Structure 1
Amino acid sequence: MIEQVPPRDLPAWLADARTEGEAPPLLLDCREPAEWRVATVQPDGAELVQMPMHSIPPRLHELDRDRPVALLCHHGGRSMQVAMFLKQHGFARVANIAGGIDAWSVQVDPTVPRY
């Protein structure tokens, strides 16, 4: 099962996922570059990696399976697909940011553009 984390709860998920002395969890934004130019976020306690959904399978070797990963897209559909893909490929802790960056704008930061 994939954890569903509303944007307002992401700080608590990141704090829980962080292991002392380890690299911070990843926030993997699987939207397209044009979407990143419209709106992006950088939460405290995570390293942002922007990697379009279609590029993830051939770039899977760039990601650490032991590092917690929270997935982000526009509304949560693509990120859920990527989360399931990562889980099937042995990633230990994966979460989907429910509602995506659109929900982020509503729940966390209204200055993040909605599109």
Structure 2
Amino acid sequence: MIAQVSPLALAEWFQSTGTASPQVLDVREPWELQTASVKPEGFELVTIPMGEVPARLEQLDPQRPVACLCHHGARSQRVAAFLAHNGFSHVANVAGGIDAWSLERDPSVARY
């Protein structure tokens, strides 16, 4: 089962993995990234549209924790399951996506 982590609990989840260099994988489309994006604070932000993840899987380190992010959480849930199926041991879905990020963590992030 994929962990569901709220934007506010993300730092705590990263710490619980016991590994360094956490990543947030934003799987939204380029136009969505231009509309709203998160600021990397305590993690590396990686942006790969959902449809490109299989072809670009080598750009991600399966030893590092990865929290997947999309607009509301559905696409990122699918990508998180794909990563877990492909040997990533520390994977989570950011519950509610960037919309929840704006509401819970950083109101400067645009909602769309």
The verdict on a shared fold, with TM-score over 0.5 as the criterion, is: yes
Q: Deviations over 1:11-65 (max 9, x none)?
A: 211233352xx4x111000000000001000242110000000000011111111
Question: TM-score, with normalisation over the residues of structure 1?
Answer: 0.92
Alignment of 1:49-64 (within 5 A): 49-64=46-61
TM-score normalised over the length of structure 2: 0.95
Aligned counterpart, 2:110: 113
Map of 1:17 onto structure 2: 17
Structure 1 residue ranges (4+ consecutive) displaced by more than 4 angstroms after TM superposition: none
Equivalent residues in 2 for 1:1-115, closer than 5 Å: 1-19=1-19, 22=20, 24-115=21-112
What is the aligned-residue identity percentage? 55
Gaps of 5+ in 2: none
Q: Structure 2 vs 1, CA of residues 101 and 28 (structure 1 numbering), >3 Å: closer, same or farther?
A: same
Q: How many residues in Structure 1 have an aligned counterpart in Structure 2?
A: 112
Structure 1: segments with no counterpart, 5+ residues: none
Specify whether residues 26 and 108 from structure 1 end up closer, same or farther in structure 2 by C-alpha distance, changes over 3 A only. Answer: same
